[in-house]
Amino acid sequence: MSDEQDINRIKIVLVEKKRSNKWLAQELGKDPATVSKWCTNTTQPDLQTLAKVAALLDVDIKDLLWSTRS
């Protein structure tokens, strides 16, 4: 893990799926600035929103989180 505060992997998974922050914001009906904050780990989405992100990106919700185990 690059930084102790990096909790989610949304930005990485978006890149892997060739999707943009703007696309995700539109799909969720969220402000692009909000999604940007999630991607930089400035703030975190709630679990319900994270589940929606996982469904939109067709990944397991665990794929959006950094493992807490080494």
pLDDT tens digits, one per residue of 41-62: 999 999 999 999 999 999 999 9
15: CATH: 1.10.260.40
**Total number of domains in the chain:** 1
Whether 22 maps to a domain, the answer reads yes
Nearest-angstrom CA–CA distance, 41 and 6: 6
Report pLDDT for 58.
97
Whether 70 maps to a domain, the answer reads no
Residue 70: band (very low, low, confident or very high) from pLDDT cuts 50, 70, 90: low
Average pLDDT over residues 23-43: 97
Whether 1 maps to a domain, the answer reads no
Report pLDDT for 1.
45
User: Can you count the helices (H) and strands (E) in the chain?
Assistant: 4, 0
Report pLDDT for 68.
77
| Prediction pTM value | 0.88
